[in-house]
Amino acid sequence: MPIKIYKPTSEGRRGMTGVDFSVLTKSYPEKSLTFGRKKTSARNNRGRITVRHHGGGHKQLYRLIDFKQNKHNISGKVTSIEYDPNRTCFIALIVYKDGEKRYILAPKDLKVGSSVIASENTPLTTGNRLMLKNIPVGTFIHNVEFFPGKGGQLARSAGNSVQVMAQEGGYTHLLLPSSEIRKVPDSGYASIGVLSNTERNAITIGKAGRSRWMGIRPTVRASAMNPVDHPYGGGEGRALRGTRRPKTKWGKITGGRKTRNKNKRSNAFIIRRRKK
């Protein structure tokens, strides 16, 4: 997908790039599948900030996405490819033969007019959804279920996919984008193909205001703070870090320390940890 390059009409526009939305076929979402969502600006029920750098942003309607796709053995037709402000990939509106409408994550090269179906064993066509044990080794898939029936949790962002590596003992071995190899129950479902909007990670925001439209507030460098606010704070001019190991704002060691629980039950399903 080509990246949209803007003319340098101002300093903010110079170097700015965006996603080319020419592949989209509809400007407004399906009203029956949308609802309003209140922003919390990352505050909890007491009004305290629990996640920093969140707040503001443009008003958004939430699109109800069908991650389960549990309408089995009924084919649906793609009627539109749409933008979703709540996720990085595009979404597709599916109209089934019985008239029901649902949104699904749109894989790359899915076209309006295409037919998709979810079944235990279907043709390996982009957009189709089938049981993991029936997917051949080497196939790229997305929206993969960790737990059968729960709905897809793996590979749901723009340009993302996982690759089937092996089928063994009731489990499917998957190569994740992080290079980790993990096994999941082969009775779960997954969709065929790589997700759309593959060039999204290459765009240049261009100006601070565009980050604010996205709901991202400014981040202050730790070395620019006072000693009371951060372990890196204080000093004359551009001072050195002053601490041997990198630390968070709250003095917790970060960068190099393993944080995963050694006794976590899902460790048994990790065949190979990600490469650094």
Number of folded domains that form the chain? 1
Q: Kindly state whether residue 227 falls inside one of the protein's structural domains.
A: no
Q: Are 196 and 90 a contacting pair, CB within 8 Å?
A: yes
Tell which phi-psi region holds residue 246, choosing left (phi > 0), alpha (psi between -120 and 50) or beta.
Answer: beta
* Res 9 pLDDT > 90: yes
Q: Kindly state whether residue 75 falls inside one of the protein's structural domains.
A: yes
Query: Mean pLDDT across the stretch 153-159?
Result: 96
Q: Kindly state whether residue 69 falls inside one of the protein's structural domains.
A: yes
Q: Kindly state whether residue 194 falls inside one of the protein's structural domains.
A: yes
For 170-204, the pLDDT digits (tens) are: 999 999 999 999 999 999 999 999 999 999 999 99
* Res 276 pLDDT > 90: no
Q: Kindly state whether residue 266 falls inside one of the protein's structural domains.
A: no
| Residue 256: band (very low, low, confident or very high) from pLDDT cuts 50, 70, 90 | confident
For residues 193 and 160, what is the distance between their CA atoms, to the nearest angstrom? Answer: 9
| Residue 275: band (very low, low, confident or very high) from pLDDT cuts 50, 70, 90 | confident
For residue 172, give the nearest of 135, 142, 128 by alpha carbon. 135
Q: Return the percentage of the chain with pLDDT > 70, whole number.
A: 100
Q: What is the 8-class DSSP label of residue 186? A: T
Q: Which domain holds residue 192?
A: 3-201
Q: Kindly state whether residue 225 falls inside one of the protein's structural domains.
A: no
For residues 28 and 93, what is the distance between their CA atoms, to the nearest angstrom? Answer: 11
Query: Mean pLDDT across the stretch 219-232?
Result: 95
Can you spell out the DSSP letters for 30-80? Answer: -GGGEEE----TTB-TTS-BSSTTB------EEE-B-SS---BT--EEEEE
What residues are paired with 93 via a beta bridge?
A: 80, 103
Q: Which SS3 state, helix, strand or coil, does residue 164 take?
A: strand
- Residue 129 tokens read as 């959804």
Q: Kindly state whether residue 181 falls inside one of the protein's structural domains.
A: yes
Q: Are 200 and 21 a contacting pair, CB within 8 Å?
A: no
Q: What is the 8-class DSSP label of residue 274? A: P
**Which CATH number does the domain housing residue 155 bear?**
2.40.50.140
Q: Kindly state whether residue 261 falls inside one of the protein's structural domains.
A: no
Task: Check residue 1 and give its pLDDT.
Answer: 61
For 111-144, the pLDDT digits (tens) are: 999 999 999 999 999 999 999 999 999 999 999 9
Give the full edge-to-edge strand order of the sheet including 91-96: 101-105, 91-96, 76-82, 115-116
